[in-house]
Amino acid sequence: MDRVAFYDTKPYDKIWFDRLCGDYGIDIKYIEGRLCEDTAALANGCRAAVIFVNDKLDAKTAKALERNGVGCVALRCAGYNNVDLSGAAGLKLYRVPAYSPAAVAEHAMALLLTLNRKTHKAYNRTKEHNFSLKGLCGFDLNGKTAGVVGTGKVGQAFVRICRGFGMRVIAYDPYPSRIPGVEYMPLYDVCRQSDIISLHCPLTSDTHHMLDGRAFSMMRRGVYIINTSRGALIDSEELLDAIKDGKVGGAGLDVYEEEIDFFYEDVSDEVIDDDTLEMLLSQPNVLVTSHQAFLTKEALRAIAEDTLYNLRCFFDGTPSENEIKPGANAKA
Protein backbone atom coordinates (compact mmCIF):
# COMPACT_ATOMS: atom_id res chain seq x y z
CA MET A 1 0.00 0.00 0.00
CA ASP A 2 1.10 3.57 -0.68
CA ARG A 3 1.72 5.49 2.54
CA VAL A 4 0.67 9.10 3.10
CA ALA A 5 1.16 11.54 5.99
CA PHE A 6 -2.10 13.12 7.14
CA TYR A 7 -1.56 16.41 9.00
CA ASP A 8 -3.79 18.33 11.44
CA THR A 9 -5.90 15.26 12.12
CA LYS A 10 -9.20 15.59 13.98
CA PRO A 11 -11.49 12.70 15.02
CA TYR A 12 -14.10 13.52 12.38
CA ASP A 13 -11.42 13.35 9.66
CA LYS A 14 -10.77 9.69 10.34
CA ILE A 15 -14.35 8.48 9.93
CA TRP A 16 -14.46 8.32 6.13
CA PHE A 17 -10.73 8.15 5.46
CA ASP A 18 -10.51 5.02 7.61
CA ARG A 19 -13.50 3.47 5.83
CA LEU A 20 -12.30 4.21 2.30
CA CYS A 21 -8.48 4.25 2.30
CA GLY A 22 -8.21 0.49 1.79
CA ASP A 23 -10.35 0.68 -1.34
CA TYR A 24 -7.78 3.04 -2.84
CA GLY A 25 -4.75 1.03 -1.73
CA ILE A 26 -3.58 3.79 0.61
CA ASP A 27 -2.17 3.53 4.13
CA ILE A 28 -2.54 6.66 6.25
CA LYS A 29 -0.15 7.90 8.93
CA TYR A 30 -2.24 10.29 11.04
CA ILE A 31 -0.44 13.28 12.56
CA GLU A 32 -2.20 15.60 15.01
CA GLY A 33 0.17 18.53 14.47
CA ARG A 34 -0.07 20.97 11.61
CA LEU A 35 2.31 20.92 8.69
CA CYS A 36 5.16 23.41 8.82
CA GLU A 37 8.89 23.27 8.20
CA ASP A 38 9.50 21.72 11.63
CA THR A 39 6.90 18.94 11.24
CA ALA A 40 7.72 18.04 7.63
CA ALA A 41 10.12 15.35 8.87
CA LEU A 42 7.15 13.42 10.26
CA ALA A 43 6.30 12.56 6.65
CA ASN A 44 9.49 10.53 6.29
CA GLY A 45 8.70 7.22 4.62
CA CYS A 46 5.57 8.65 2.97
CA ARG A 47 5.26 9.51 -0.71
CA ALA A 48 2.49 12.06 -0.20
CA ALA A 49 1.06 14.41 2.43
CA VAL A 50 -2.53 15.45 3.10
CA ILE A 51 -3.13 18.92 4.57
CA PHE A 52 -5.96 21.27 5.55
CA VAL A 53 -6.63 25.02 5.69
CA ASN A 54 -4.32 25.94 8.58
CA ASP A 55 -1.35 23.82 7.49
CA LYS A 56 1.49 25.87 6.04
CA LEU A 57 3.07 24.91 2.74
CA ASP A 58 5.66 27.58 2.03
CA ALA A 59 8.91 27.13 0.10
CA LYS A 60 10.92 25.91 3.09
CA THR A 61 8.25 23.41 4.10
CA ALA A 62 7.94 22.16 0.53
CA LYS A 63 11.69 21.56 0.31
CA ALA A 64 11.65 19.77 3.66
CA LEU A 65 8.88 17.47 2.42
CA GLU A 66 10.80 16.73 -0.77
CA ARG A 67 13.92 15.86 1.24
CA ASN A 68 11.83 13.31 3.11
CA GLY A 69 10.62 11.65 -0.09
CA VAL A 70 7.26 13.37 -0.51
CA GLY A 71 6.30 14.13 -4.11
CA CYS A 72 2.66 15.14 -3.70
CA VAL A 73 0.50 17.25 -1.39
CA ALA A 74 -3.27 16.77 -1.44
CA LEU A 75 -5.36 19.48 0.19
CA ARG A 76 -8.61 18.22 1.67
CA CYS A 77 -10.27 21.58 1.01
CA ALA A 78 -11.07 23.88 -1.92
CA GLY A 79 -8.97 26.95 -1.17
CA TYR A 80 -5.20 26.94 -1.28
CA ASN A 81 -4.18 30.39 -0.06
CA ASN A 82 -1.92 28.62 2.48
CA VAL A 83 0.22 27.22 -0.35
CA ASP A 84 3.15 29.03 -1.95
CA LEU A 85 2.62 27.77 -5.50
CA SER A 86 6.02 28.86 -6.77
CA GLY A 87 7.81 27.60 -3.66
CA ALA A 88 6.06 24.23 -3.96
CA ALA A 89 6.68 23.87 -7.68
CA GLY A 90 8.56 20.62 -7.11
CA LEU A 91 5.45 18.94 -5.71
CA LYS A 92 2.27 17.74 -7.36
CA LEU A 93 -0.60 19.64 -5.74
CA TYR A 94 -4.27 18.70 -5.62
CA ARG A 95 -7.41 20.08 -3.99
CA VAL A 96 -11.07 19.18 -3.44
CA PRO A 97 -12.90 21.86 -5.40
CA ALA A 98 -16.54 21.07 -4.58
CA TYR A 99 -16.98 18.64 -1.70
CA SER A 100 -20.39 20.06 -0.74
CA PRO A 101 -21.38 23.52 -1.90
CA ALA A 102 -24.72 23.03 -0.16
CA ALA A 103 -23.05 22.50 3.23
CA VAL A 104 -21.25 25.84 3.16
CA ALA A 105 -24.16 27.76 1.63
CA GLU A 106 -26.61 26.35 4.17
CA HIS A 107 -24.30 27.34 7.04
CA ALA A 108 -24.09 30.88 5.63
CA MET A 109 -27.88 31.08 5.68
CA ALA A 110 -27.92 29.57 9.19
CA LEU A 111 -25.64 32.37 10.37
CA LEU A 112 -27.89 34.97 8.75
CA LEU A 113 -31.11 33.51 10.15
CA THR A 114 -29.64 33.14 13.63
CA LEU A 115 -28.34 36.70 13.67
CA ASN A 116 -31.54 38.14 12.28
CA ARG A 117 -34.12 36.22 14.32
CA LYS A 118 -31.83 35.89 17.36
CA THR A 119 -32.70 32.24 17.94
CA HIS A 120 -29.45 31.71 19.86
CA LYS A 121 -30.50 34.35 22.37
CA ALA A 122 -34.05 32.98 22.59
CA TYR A 123 -32.66 29.49 23.26
CA ASN A 124 -30.54 30.71 26.15
CA ARG A 125 -33.43 32.69 27.61
CA THR A 126 -36.05 29.97 27.54
CA LYS A 127 -33.64 27.47 29.08
CA GLU A 128 -33.73 29.78 32.11
CA HIS A 129 -37.54 30.17 31.89
CA ASN A 130 -37.29 33.71 30.52
CA PHE A 131 -39.97 33.97 27.84
CA SER A 132 -39.70 37.70 27.18
CA LEU A 133 -39.52 38.81 23.53
CA LYS A 134 -37.66 42.02 24.34
CA GLY A 135 -34.73 42.57 21.95
CA LEU A 136 -35.58 39.63 19.68
CA CYS A 137 -37.14 41.55 16.79
CA GLY A 138 -35.72 40.75 13.35
CA PHE A 139 -36.71 41.62 9.79
CA ASP A 140 -38.25 39.79 6.83
CA LEU A 141 -35.72 38.41 4.38
CA ASN A 142 -38.43 38.37 1.73
CA GLY A 143 -37.98 41.38 -0.52
CA LYS A 144 -34.51 42.26 0.77
CA THR A 145 -31.43 42.47 -1.47
CA ALA A 146 -28.68 39.90 -1.02
CA GLY A 147 -25.27 40.74 -2.45
CA VAL A 148 -23.35 37.57 -3.25
CA VAL A 149 -19.61 38.08 -3.73
CA GLY A 150 -18.26 35.10 -5.64
CA THR A 151 -20.59 32.89 -7.67
CA GLY A 152 -18.74 29.62 -7.94
CA LYS A 153 -20.48 26.46 -6.79
CA VAL A 154 -20.93 27.64 -3.19
CA GLY A 155 -22.06 31.11 -4.24
CA GLN A 156 -24.60 29.65 -6.66
CA ALA A 157 -25.95 27.37 -3.92
CA PHE A 158 -26.38 30.42 -1.67
CA VAL A 159 -28.12 32.28 -4.51
CA ARG A 160 -30.68 29.47 -4.79
CA ILE A 161 -31.35 29.59 -1.06
CA CYS A 162 -31.80 33.37 -1.11
CA ARG A 163 -34.20 33.20 -4.03
CA GLY A 164 -36.17 30.58 -2.11
CA PHE A 165 -36.67 33.22 0.59
CA GLY A 166 -37.99 35.67 -2.00
CA MET A 167 -34.90 37.86 -2.00
CA ARG A 168 -33.53 39.95 -4.82
CA VAL A 169 -30.02 38.76 -5.60
CA ILE A 170 -27.19 40.83 -7.05
CA ALA A 171 -23.61 39.62 -7.43
CA TYR A 172 -20.00 40.47 -8.02
CA ASP A 173 -17.52 38.07 -9.60
CA PRO A 174 -14.70 38.84 -12.05
CA TYR A 175 -15.67 35.57 -13.76
CA PRO A 176 -19.49 35.82 -13.98
CA SER A 177 -21.68 32.79 -14.45
CA ARG A 178 -25.02 32.77 -16.21
CA ILE A 179 -27.49 32.62 -13.33
CA PRO A 180 -31.12 33.42 -14.17
CA GLY A 181 -32.46 36.38 -12.22
CA VAL A 182 -29.07 37.49 -10.88
CA GLU A 183 -27.68 40.88 -11.90
CA TYR A 184 -23.88 41.26 -11.88
CA MET A 185 -22.36 44.61 -11.01
CA PRO A 186 -19.10 46.08 -9.65
CA LEU A 187 -18.23 45.29 -6.04
CA TYR A 188 -18.89 48.79 -4.74
CA ASP A 189 -22.35 48.82 -6.36
CA VAL A 190 -23.07 45.54 -4.57
CA CYS A 191 -21.96 47.24 -1.35
CA ARG A 192 -24.26 50.21 -1.97
CA GLN A 193 -27.39 48.20 -2.82
CA SER A 194 -27.29 45.17 -0.53
CA ASP A 195 -29.10 44.57 2.74
CA ILE A 196 -27.03 41.42 3.23
CA ILE A 197 -23.56 40.72 1.80
CA SER A 198 -22.29 37.16 1.77
CA LEU A 199 -18.74 36.26 0.73
CA HIS A 200 -18.11 33.09 -1.32
CA CYS A 201 -14.79 33.72 -3.07
CA PRO A 202 -11.21 32.49 -2.69
CA LEU A 203 -8.51 34.46 -0.88
CA THR A 204 -5.98 35.86 -3.33
CA SER A 205 -3.83 38.98 -3.53
CA ASP A 206 -6.74 40.65 -5.35
CA THR A 207 -9.40 39.71 -2.77
CA HIS A 208 -7.37 40.30 0.41
CA HIS A 209 -9.31 42.84 2.54
CA MET A 210 -11.82 43.38 -0.26
CA LEU A 211 -14.20 44.55 2.45
CA ASP A 212 -12.17 47.39 3.92
CA GLY A 213 -12.97 50.82 5.32
CA ARG A 214 -13.87 52.21 1.92
CA ALA A 215 -16.21 49.33 1.16
CA PHE A 216 -17.93 49.64 4.54
CA SER A 217 -18.39 53.37 4.04
CA MET A 218 -20.43 52.69 0.89
CA MET A 219 -22.78 50.17 2.49
CA ARG A 220 -26.33 50.73 3.64
CA ARG A 221 -26.66 51.44 7.33
CA GLY A 222 -27.56 48.23 9.16
CA VAL A 223 -26.16 45.88 6.50
CA TYR A 224 -25.50 42.28 7.54
CA ILE A 225 -22.14 40.69 6.63
CA ILE A 226 -21.72 36.92 6.26
CA ASN A 227 -18.35 35.26 5.64
CA THR A 228 -17.91 31.49 5.24
CA SER A 229 -14.93 31.68 2.86
CA ARG A 230 -11.64 33.05 4.21
CA GLY A 231 -11.14 35.46 7.08
CA ALA A 232 -8.74 37.82 5.35
CA LEU A 233 -11.37 38.80 2.78
CA ILE A 234 -12.43 41.26 5.48
CA ASP A 235 -10.31 43.82 7.29
CA SER A 236 -11.32 42.76 10.80
CA GLU A 237 -10.44 46.05 12.50
CA GLU A 238 -12.47 48.02 9.95
CA LEU A 239 -15.36 45.59 10.42
CA LEU A 240 -15.22 46.15 14.18
CA ASP A 241 -15.27 49.92 13.67
CA ALA A 242 -18.26 49.58 11.32
CA ILE A 243 -20.10 47.47 13.90
CA LYS A 244 -19.42 49.96 16.69
CA ASP A 245 -20.58 52.81 14.43
CA GLY A 246 -23.81 51.01 13.56
CA LYS A 247 -22.99 50.86 9.85
CA VAL A 248 -22.95 47.05 10.08
CA GLY A 249 -26.07 45.73 11.78
CA GLY A 250 -24.78 42.20 12.20
CA ALA A 251 -21.90 39.94 11.22
CA GLY A 252 -21.88 36.17 10.89
CA LEU A 253 -18.31 34.91 10.67
CA ASP A 254 -17.30 31.29 10.19
CA VAL A 255 -13.74 32.43 9.47
CA TYR A 256 -11.33 35.00 10.88
CA GLU A 257 -8.11 36.30 9.36
CA GLU A 258 -5.99 35.34 12.39
CA GLU A 259 -7.85 32.13 13.17
CA ILE A 260 -4.90 29.76 12.89
CA ASP A 261 -4.01 29.96 16.59
CA PHE A 262 -7.57 29.36 17.80
CA PHE A 263 -9.95 27.64 15.41
CA TYR A 264 -10.30 23.84 15.59
CA GLU A 265 -8.82 23.86 19.10
CA ASP A 266 -10.19 24.10 22.65
CA VAL A 267 -8.58 27.21 24.13
CA SER A 268 -11.28 27.79 26.74
CA ASP A 269 -8.69 27.73 29.55
CA GLU A 270 -6.36 30.18 27.83
CA VAL A 271 -6.22 33.95 27.47
CA ILE A 272 -6.82 34.83 23.82
CA ASP A 273 -4.05 37.18 22.77
CA ASP A 274 -6.06 38.84 20.01
CA ASP A 275 -7.88 42.01 21.01
CA THR A 276 -9.79 42.29 17.73
CA LEU A 277 -11.20 38.77 17.99
CA GLU A 278 -12.11 39.32 21.63
CA MET A 279 -13.91 42.54 20.75
CA LEU A 280 -15.80 40.85 17.91
CA LEU A 281 -16.86 38.01 20.21
CA SER A 282 -18.11 40.54 22.77
CA GLN A 283 -20.49 42.30 20.38
CA PRO A 284 -24.16 41.29 20.74
CA ASN A 285 -24.71 41.40 16.97
CA VAL A 286 -21.73 39.24 15.99
CA LEU A 287 -21.92 35.46 15.66
CA VAL A 288 -18.66 33.55 15.27
CA THR A 289 -18.39 29.85 14.44
CA SER A 290 -15.05 28.08 14.16
CA HIS A 291 -14.72 27.34 10.44
CA GLN A 292 -17.38 24.63 10.57
CA ALA A 293 -19.41 25.46 7.45
CA PHE A 294 -18.02 22.39 5.66
CA LEU A 295 -18.84 20.03 8.52
CA THR A 296 -21.62 17.73 7.33
CA LYS A 297 -21.65 13.96 6.91
CA GLU A 298 -22.01 14.33 3.16
CA ALA A 299 -19.14 16.79 2.88
CA LEU A 300 -16.78 14.67 5.00
CA ARG A 301 -17.41 11.66 2.78
CA ALA A 302 -16.92 13.69 -0.41
CA ILE A 303 -13.68 15.18 0.94
CA ALA A 304 -12.33 11.70 1.71
CA GLU A 305 -13.37 10.28 -1.65
CA ASP A 306 -11.93 13.12 -3.71
CA THR A 307 -8.70 13.33 -1.68
CA LEU A 308 -8.09 9.60 -1.98
CA TYR A 309 -8.90 9.76 -5.69
CA ASN A 310 -6.34 12.55 -6.13
CA LEU A 311 -3.71 10.55 -4.26
CA ARG A 312 -4.43 7.46 -6.35
CA CYS A 313 -3.99 9.53 -9.52
CA PHE A 314 -0.60 10.67 -8.27
CA PHE A 315 0.56 7.17 -7.35
CA ASP A 316 -0.66 5.74 -10.66
CA GLY A 317 0.68 8.62 -12.76
CA THR A 318 -2.75 9.41 -14.19
CA PRO A 319 -4.20 12.91 -14.61
CA SER A 320 -6.64 14.44 -12.13
CA GLU A 321 -8.92 17.34 -12.93
CA ASN A 322 -8.28 18.51 -9.37
CA GLU A 323 -4.59 19.24 -9.82
CA ILE A 324 -3.58 22.76 -8.79
CA LYS A 325 -1.48 24.58 -11.33
CA PRO A 326 0.18 28.02 -11.05
CA GLY A 327 -2.05 30.75 -12.44
CA ALA A 328 -5.23 28.74 -11.99
CA ASN A 329 -8.27 30.56 -10.64
CA ALA A 330 -9.87 28.85 -7.65
CA LYS A 331 -13.58 29.48 -7.46
CA ALA A 332 -15.11 28.65 -4.08
User: Which CATH number characterizes residue 8's domain?
Assistant: 3.40.50.720
**pLDDT of the residue at 328:** 52
- Whether 259 is catalytic is yes
Whether residue 325 lies inside any domain: the answer is no
Kindly give the residue spans of alpha helices, DSSP state H, lying in 165-233.
187-193, 213-218
**What's residue 98's pLDDT?**
85
Q: Indicate if 75 and 137 belong to the same structural domain.
A: no
* Tens digit of pLDDT at every position of the chain (332 positions): 999 999 999 999 999 999 999 999 999 999 999 999 999 999 999 999 999 999 999 999 999 999 999 999 999 999 899 999 999 999 999 999 988 899 999 999 999 999 999 999 999 999 999 999 999 999 999 999 999 999 999 999 999 999 999 999 999 999 999 999 999 999 999 999 999 999 999 999 999 999 999 999 999 999 999 999 999 999 999 999 999 999 999 999 999 999 988 999 899 999 999 999 999 999 999 999 999 999 999 999 999 999 999 999 999 999 999 999 865 544 44
Same domain, 41 and 128: no
Q: What is the pLDDT of residue 299?
A: 96
Question: Among residues 34, 168, 200, 291, which one is catalytic?
Answer: 291
Q: Are 133 and 311 in contact (CB under 8 A)?
A: no
- 288, 307, 325 — which closes off a domain? 288
Instruction: Measure the CA angle with vertex 264, ends 112 and 115; round to 5°.
Output: 15
Looking at the fold, whether 311 and 240 belong to one and the same domain comes out as no
Task: With respect to residue 321, please indicate whether it lies within any of the assigned structural domains.
Answer: no
Q: Is 132 inside any structural domain?
A: yes
* 63 shares a domain with 115: no
Residue 298 annotated to the active site: no
Question: Would you tell me how many other CB atoms lie within 10 Å of the CB of residue 167?
Answer: 19
- Which listed residue (259, 265, 298, 305) is catalytic? 259
Mean pLDDT across the chain: 96
Report if residue 324 sits inside a domain: no
Q: Are residues 152 and 10 in the same domain?
A: no
At residue 327, the pLDDT reads 56
Question: What b/e readout covers 306-327, taking b as 16+ CB neighbours within 10 angstroms?
Answer: bbbbbbbbbbeeeebebbbeee
Q: How far apart are CA 83 and CA 76, in angstroms?
A: 13
**CA pair distance 178, 171, nearest whole angstrom:** 11
Residues 139 and 210 in one domain: yes
Active site residue 76: no
* One domain for residues 115 and 95: no
Same domain, yes or no: 65 and 26: yes
269 and 125 in a single domain? The answer is yes
Residues 112 and 251 in one domain: yes
231: which residues sit within 8 A by CB, 6+ positions away?
Answer: 253, 255, 256, 257, 258, 259
Q: Which of 95, 230, 238, 257 does the annotation list as catalytic?
A: 230
Give domain status of residue 95, yes or no: yes
Could you tell me if residue 163 is inside a domain? yes
In a domain, 330, yes or no: no
29 belongs to a structural domain: yes
Total count of domains within the chain: 2
Residues 63 and 179 in one domain: no
Q: Which pLDDT belongs to residue 325? A: 84
User: 66 with 112, same domain?
Assistant: no
Q: Where in the sequence is the domain holding 12, given as residue range(s)?
A: 2-99+296-316
Q: Are 248 and 225 in contact (CB under 8 A)?
A: yes
